[in-house]
Structure 1
Protein backbone atom coordinates (compact mmCIF):
# COMPACT_ATOMS: atom_id res chain seq x y z
CA UNK A 1 0.00 0.00 0.00
CA UNK A 2 1.46 3.40 -0.96
CA UNK A 3 2.29 5.88 1.76
CA UNK A 4 0.54 9.24 1.96
CA UNK A 5 2.47 12.40 1.17
CA UNK A 6 2.31 13.44 4.82
CA UNK A 7 3.63 10.07 6.03
CA UNK A 8 6.44 10.23 3.48
CA UNK A 9 7.41 13.70 4.71
CA UNK A 10 7.39 12.60 8.36
CA UNK A 11 9.55 9.56 7.55
CA UNK A 12 11.96 11.73 5.55
CA UNK A 13 12.21 14.29 8.36
CA UNK A 14 12.81 11.55 10.94
CA UNK A 15 15.44 10.01 8.66
CA UNK A 16 17.21 13.34 8.34
CA UNK A 17 17.25 13.68 12.15
CA UNK A 18 18.72 10.17 12.53
CA UNK A 19 21.34 10.90 9.86
CA UNK A 20 22.29 14.14 11.63
CA UNK A 21 22.63 12.28 14.95
CA UNK A 22 24.88 9.66 13.32
CA UNK A 23 27.00 12.37 11.70
CA UNK A 24 27.45 14.23 14.99
CA UNK A 25 28.28 10.99 16.85
CA UNK A 26 30.92 10.06 14.25
CA UNK A 27 32.33 13.58 14.42
CA UNK A 28 32.67 13.27 18.20
CA UNK A 29 34.13 9.76 18.12
CA UNK A 30 36.63 10.02 15.28
CA UNK A 31 39.17 12.42 13.90
CA UNK A 32 40.81 12.71 10.51
CA UNK A 33 39.67 10.90 7.36
CA UNK A 34 36.86 8.91 9.02
CA UNK A 35 35.35 12.10 10.40
CA UNK A 36 35.80 13.97 7.11
CA UNK A 37 34.52 11.35 4.66
CA UNK A 38 31.68 10.00 6.80
CA UNK A 39 30.51 13.57 7.37
CA UNK A 40 30.56 14.24 3.65
CA UNK A 41 28.57 11.10 2.83
CA UNK A 42 26.09 11.75 5.65
CA UNK A 43 25.65 15.37 4.50
CA UNK A 44 24.59 14.03 1.10
CA UNK A 45 22.24 11.58 2.82
CA UNK A 46 20.61 14.46 4.67
CA UNK A 47 20.18 16.36 1.43
CA UNK A 48 18.52 13.27 -0.09
CA UNK A 49 16.17 12.92 2.89
CA UNK A 50 15.52 16.66 2.90
CA UNK A 51 14.47 16.43 -0.73
CA UNK A 52 11.63 14.18 0.37
CA UNK A 53 10.47 16.66 2.95
CA UNK A 54 10.08 19.20 0.15
CA UNK A 55 9.10 16.89 -2.75
CA UNK A 56 7.81 13.54 -1.42
CA UNK A 57 6.71 12.28 -4.85
CA UNK A 58 10.19 12.32 -6.38
CA UNK A 59 11.41 9.04 -7.78
CA UNK A 60 14.53 7.59 -6.11
CA UNK A 61 16.57 8.27 -9.27
CA UNK A 62 15.43 11.89 -9.50
CA UNK A 63 15.94 12.47 -5.77
CA UNK A 64 19.43 10.96 -5.94
CA UNK A 65 20.37 13.06 -8.95
CA UNK A 66 19.07 16.24 -7.32
CA UNK A 67 20.86 15.50 -4.04
CA UNK A 68 24.21 14.78 -5.70
CA UNK A 69 23.88 17.80 -8.00
CA UNK A 70 23.06 20.06 -5.05
CA UNK A 71 26.04 18.74 -3.06
CA UNK A 72 28.36 19.22 -6.04
CA UNK A 73 27.04 22.77 -6.51
CA UNK A 74 27.70 23.60 -2.86
CA UNK A 75 31.18 22.03 -3.05
CA UNK A 76 32.11 23.89 -6.23
CA UNK A 77 30.77 27.14 -4.78
CA UNK A 78 33.51 26.82 -2.17
CA UNK A 79 35.95 27.78 -4.92
CA UNK A 80 34.47 31.31 -4.82
CA UNK A 81 35.25 32.01 -1.17
CA UNK A 82 31.64 33.00 -0.40
CA UNK A 83 30.94 29.89 1.74
CA UNK A 84 34.17 30.50 3.68
CA UNK A 85 33.08 34.08 4.33
CA UNK A 86 29.62 32.98 5.51
CA UNK A 87 31.09 30.09 7.52
CA UNK A 88 33.28 32.52 9.43
CA UNK A 89 30.19 34.34 10.61
CA UNK A 90 27.78 31.49 11.32
CA UNK A 91 28.00 27.93 12.64
CA UNK A 92 24.92 27.06 10.59
CA UNK A 93 26.63 28.49 7.50
CA UNK A 94 29.70 26.39 8.19
CA UNK A 95 27.66 23.21 8.62
CA UNK A 96 25.54 23.83 5.52
CA UNK A 97 28.14 25.28 3.14
CA UNK A 98 31.52 24.10 4.36
CA UNK A 99 34.67 26.17 4.20
CA UNK A 100 37.01 25.01 1.45
CA UNK A 101 36.82 22.94 -1.72
CA UNK A 102 37.95 19.31 -1.50
CA UNK A 103 37.80 17.39 -4.80
CA UNK A 104 37.58 14.10 -2.86
CA UNK A 105 34.24 15.22 -1.46
CA UNK A 106 32.81 15.09 -4.98
CA UNK A 107 33.29 11.30 -4.85
CA UNK A 108 31.86 10.88 -1.35
CA UNK A 109 28.53 12.58 -2.06
CA UNK A 110 27.25 9.73 -4.26
CA UNK A 111 28.44 7.27 -1.58
CA UNK A 112 26.01 8.91 0.83
CA UNK A 113 23.14 9.01 -1.65
CA UNK A 114 23.34 5.61 -3.38
CA UNK A 115 22.39 3.43 -0.38
CA UNK A 116 19.36 5.59 0.39
CA UNK A 117 18.26 5.69 -3.25
CA UNK A 118 18.61 1.90 -3.51
CA UNK A 119 16.66 1.33 -0.28
CA UNK A 120 14.00 3.78 -1.39
CA UNK A 121 13.74 2.09 -4.80
CA UNK A 122 13.30 -1.32 -3.13
CA UNK A 123 10.66 0.00 -0.72
CA UNK A 124 8.84 1.74 -3.52
CA UNK A 125 8.91 -1.41 -5.61
CA UNK A 126 7.30 -3.31 -2.72
CA UNK A 127 4.64 -0.61 -2.33
CA UNK A 128 3.92 -0.45 -6.06
CA UNK A 129 4.22 -3.97 -7.50
CA UNK A 130 4.88 -4.14 -11.23
CA UNK A 131 1.42 -5.58 -11.94
CA UNK A 132 -0.23 -2.58 -10.27
CA UNK A 133 1.82 -0.19 -12.39
CA UNK A 134 1.18 -2.06 -15.64
CA UNK A 135 -2.53 -2.50 -14.91
CA UNK A 136 -2.43 -6.30 -14.84
CA UNK A 137 -4.44 -8.05 -12.17
CA UNK A 138 -2.61 -10.58 -10.03
CA UNK A 139 -4.25 -14.01 -9.76
Structure 2
Protein backbone atom coordinates (compact mmCIF):
# COMPACT_ATOMS: atom_id res chain seq x y z
CA UNK A 1 0.00 0.00 0.00
CA UNK A 2 1.33 3.40 -0.87
CA UNK A 3 2.15 5.93 1.80
CA UNK A 4 -0.32 8.41 0.26
CA UNK A 5 -3.25 5.97 0.55
CA UNK A 6 -2.29 5.12 4.12
CA UNK A 7 -2.26 8.81 5.09
CA UNK A 8 -5.59 9.39 3.31
CA UNK A 9 -7.17 6.53 5.24
CA UNK A 10 -5.81 7.84 8.54
CA UNK A 11 -7.21 11.32 7.82
CA UNK A 12 -10.57 9.82 6.81
CA UNK A 13 -10.73 7.73 9.99
CA UNK A 14 -9.78 10.73 12.11
CA UNK A 15 -12.56 12.82 10.55
CA UNK A 16 -14.99 9.95 10.95
CA UNK A 17 -14.19 9.57 14.67
CA UNK A 18 -14.57 13.32 15.28
CA UNK A 19 -17.87 13.35 13.39
CA UNK A 20 -19.18 10.39 15.40
CA UNK A 21 -18.40 12.17 18.65
CA UNK A 22 -20.23 15.27 17.45
CA UNK A 23 -23.23 13.15 16.47
CA UNK A 24 -23.13 11.39 19.84
CA UNK A 25 -23.07 14.75 21.61
CA UNK A 26 -26.19 15.78 19.68
CA UNK A 27 -27.98 12.56 20.62
CA UNK A 28 -26.88 12.87 24.25
CA UNK A 29 -28.37 16.38 24.26
CA UNK A 30 -31.61 14.98 22.82
CA UNK A 31 -31.71 12.31 25.54
CA UNK A 32 -31.19 14.93 28.24
CA UNK A 33 -33.85 17.23 26.77
CA UNK A 34 -36.32 14.34 26.66
CA UNK A 35 -35.54 13.49 30.29
CA UNK A 36 -35.94 17.10 31.42
CA UNK A 37 -39.19 17.56 29.51
CA UNK A 38 -40.53 14.25 30.81
CA UNK A 39 -39.69 15.05 34.42
CA UNK A 40 -41.06 18.55 33.88
CA UNK A 41 -44.35 17.12 32.68
CA UNK A 42 -44.63 15.37 36.06
CA UNK A 43 -43.35 18.17 38.28
CA UNK A 44 -45.50 20.86 36.64
CA UNK A 45 -48.52 18.62 35.99
CA UNK A 46 -50.83 20.95 37.92
CA UNK A 47 -49.97 23.81 35.55
CA UNK A 48 -50.21 21.86 32.29
CA UNK A 49 -53.30 20.81 30.33
CA UNK A 50 -54.71 17.38 31.23
CA UNK A 51 -53.88 16.00 27.77
CA UNK A 52 -50.21 16.92 28.20
CA UNK A 53 -49.93 15.44 31.70
CA UNK A 54 -51.73 12.26 30.64
CA UNK A 55 -49.81 11.47 27.47
CA UNK A 56 -46.54 13.38 27.11
CA UNK A 57 -44.56 11.64 29.85
CA UNK A 58 -44.76 8.22 28.19
CA UNK A 59 -44.17 9.66 24.72
CA UNK A 60 -41.11 11.53 25.97
CA UNK A 61 -39.84 8.36 27.68
CA UNK A 62 -40.04 6.63 24.29
CA UNK A 63 -38.22 9.60 22.69
CA UNK A 64 -35.46 9.16 25.25
CA UNK A 65 -35.18 5.46 24.38
CA UNK A 66 -35.01 6.22 20.63
CA UNK A 67 -32.32 8.88 21.04
CA UNK A 68 -30.46 6.65 23.49
CA UNK A 69 -30.26 3.93 20.86
CA UNK A 70 -29.05 6.50 18.31
CA UNK A 71 -26.43 7.58 20.87
CA UNK A 72 -25.19 3.99 21.14
CA UNK A 73 -25.25 3.27 17.40
CA UNK A 74 -24.92 6.55 15.48
CA UNK A 75 -23.88 4.98 12.17
CA UNK A 76 -26.65 2.40 12.10
CA UNK A 77 -29.70 2.96 10.01
CA UNK A 78 -32.48 4.95 11.60
CA UNK A 79 -34.80 1.97 11.45
CA UNK A 80 -32.62 0.15 14.01
CA UNK A 81 -33.48 2.80 16.60
CA UNK A 82 -37.08 2.95 15.39
CA UNK A 83 -37.79 -0.78 15.70
CA UNK A 84 -35.38 -1.31 18.61
CA UNK A 85 -37.03 1.50 20.55
CA UNK A 86 -40.50 0.13 19.90
CA UNK A 87 -39.41 -3.36 20.89
CA UNK A 88 -37.79 -2.11 24.10
CA UNK A 89 -40.74 0.09 25.11
CA UNK A 90 -43.27 -2.64 24.36
CA UNK A 91 -41.18 -5.19 26.28
CA UNK A 92 -41.09 -2.92 29.34
CA UNK A 93 -44.84 -2.33 29.10
CA UNK A 94 -45.65 -6.03 28.73
CA UNK A 95 -43.28 -6.79 31.63
CA UNK A 96 -45.74 -4.87 33.81
CA UNK A 97 -48.15 -7.78 33.44
CA UNK A 98 -45.70 -9.72 35.61
CA UNK A 99 -46.42 -8.87 39.22
CA UNK A 100 -44.08 -10.41 41.75
CA UNK A 101 -42.98 -9.03 45.14
CA UNK A 102 -39.35 -8.58 44.14
CA UNK A 103 -40.08 -6.57 40.97
CA UNK A 104 -42.92 -4.63 42.62
CA UNK A 105 -40.42 -3.62 45.30
CA UNK A 106 -38.18 -2.19 42.55
CA UNK A 107 -41.17 -0.49 40.89
CA UNK A 108 -42.04 1.14 44.24
CA UNK A 109 -38.82 3.19 44.11
CA UNK A 110 -38.77 6.46 42.19
CA UNK A 111 -36.19 5.30 39.63
CA UNK A 112 -37.76 1.84 39.34
CA UNK A 113 -41.17 3.38 38.73
CA UNK A 114 -39.81 5.73 36.07
CA UNK A 115 -37.95 2.96 34.24
CA UNK A 116 -40.25 -0.05 34.69
CA UNK A 117 -43.62 1.64 35.18
CA UNK A 118 -46.29 0.46 37.56
CA UNK A 119 -48.99 -1.38 35.63
CA UNK A 120 -49.87 -2.38 32.09
CA UNK A 121 -51.92 0.09 30.05
CA UNK A 122 -52.75 -0.50 26.41
CA UNK A 123 -52.80 3.25 25.75
CA UNK A 124 -49.12 3.38 26.73
CA UNK A 125 -48.29 1.34 23.63
CA UNK A 126 -49.88 4.08 21.51
CA UNK A 127 -48.00 6.78 23.42
CA UNK A 128 -44.69 4.96 22.90
CA UNK A 129 -45.40 4.52 19.21
CA UNK A 130 -46.18 8.21 18.79
CA UNK A 131 -43.10 9.25 20.77
CA UNK A 132 -40.77 7.08 18.73
CA UNK A 133 -42.42 8.10 15.44
CA UNK A 134 -41.98 11.78 16.34
CA UNK A 135 -38.34 11.16 17.34
CA UNK A 136 -37.64 9.30 14.11
CA UNK A 137 -39.26 12.09 12.08
CA UNK A 138 -37.20 14.76 13.89
CA UNK A 139 -34.05 12.71 13.40
CA UNK A 140 -34.78 12.18 9.71
CA UNK A 141 -35.60 15.87 9.21
CA UNK A 142 -32.48 17.08 11.02
CA UNK A 143 -30.26 14.73 9.04
CA UNK A 144 -31.81 15.98 5.81
CA UNK A 145 -31.15 19.60 6.89
CA UNK A 146 -27.53 18.81 7.71
CA UNK A 147 -27.13 16.95 4.44
CA UNK A 148 -26.66 13.43 5.67
CA UNK A 149 -28.23 11.18 3.07
CA UNK A 150 -30.25 8.55 4.91
CA UNK A 151 -33.24 6.41 4.20
CA UNK A 152 -34.90 3.76 6.33
CA UNK A 153 -32.95 1.08 4.45
CA UNK A 154 -29.66 3.03 4.21
CA UNK A 155 -27.00 1.66 6.55
CA UNK A 156 -24.26 4.02 5.36
CA UNK A 157 -25.52 7.35 6.68
CA UNK A 158 -22.21 8.62 8.07
CA UNK A 159 -20.13 7.34 5.19
CA UNK A 160 -22.03 9.53 2.75
CA UNK A 161 -21.61 12.76 4.74
CA UNK A 162 -19.77 15.58 2.94
CA UNK A 163 -17.40 16.41 5.81
CA UNK A 164 -16.00 12.87 5.84
CA UNK A 165 -14.79 12.95 2.23
Map of 1:87-106 to 2, 5 A cutoff? 87-88=107-108, 90-106=109-125
Structure 2 spans left out of the alignment, 5+ residues: 1-15, 152-156, 161-165
- Of 148, 151, 156 in structure 2, the residue corresponding to residue 127 of structure 1 is 148
Mapped partners of 2:56, 2:72: distance in 1? 24
Mapped partners of 1:101, 1:75: distance in 2? 6
Match of 2:45 in 1: 30
- Normalising by structure 1, we get a TM-score of 0.81
Q: Larger radius of gyration, structure 1 or 2?
A: 2
Q: State yes or no: 1:7 paired with 2:22.
A: yes
Mapped partners of 1:58, 1:129: distance in 2? 10
Mapped partners of 2:78, 2:150: distance in 1? 16
Map of 1:113-124 to 2, 5 A cutoff? 113-124=132-143
Match of 1:68 in 2: 86
Say what the alpha-carbon RMSD is for the aligned residues.
2.4
Structure 1 spans left out of the alignment, 5+ residues: none
Cα deviation, 1:56-76, whole Å, max 9, x if unaligned, reads: 112222211111110000000
Corresponding pairs, count: 130
Mapped partners of 2:150, 2:26: distance in 1? 21
Contact 2:77 2:150 in 1 (8 A): no
Task: Indicate how the Cα distance of structure 1 residues 44 and 59 shifts in structure 2: closer, same or farther if over 3 A, else same.
Answer: same
Contact 1:8 1:52 in 2 (8 A): no
- Normalising by structure 2, we get a TM-score of 0.69
SS in 2 for 1:113: helix
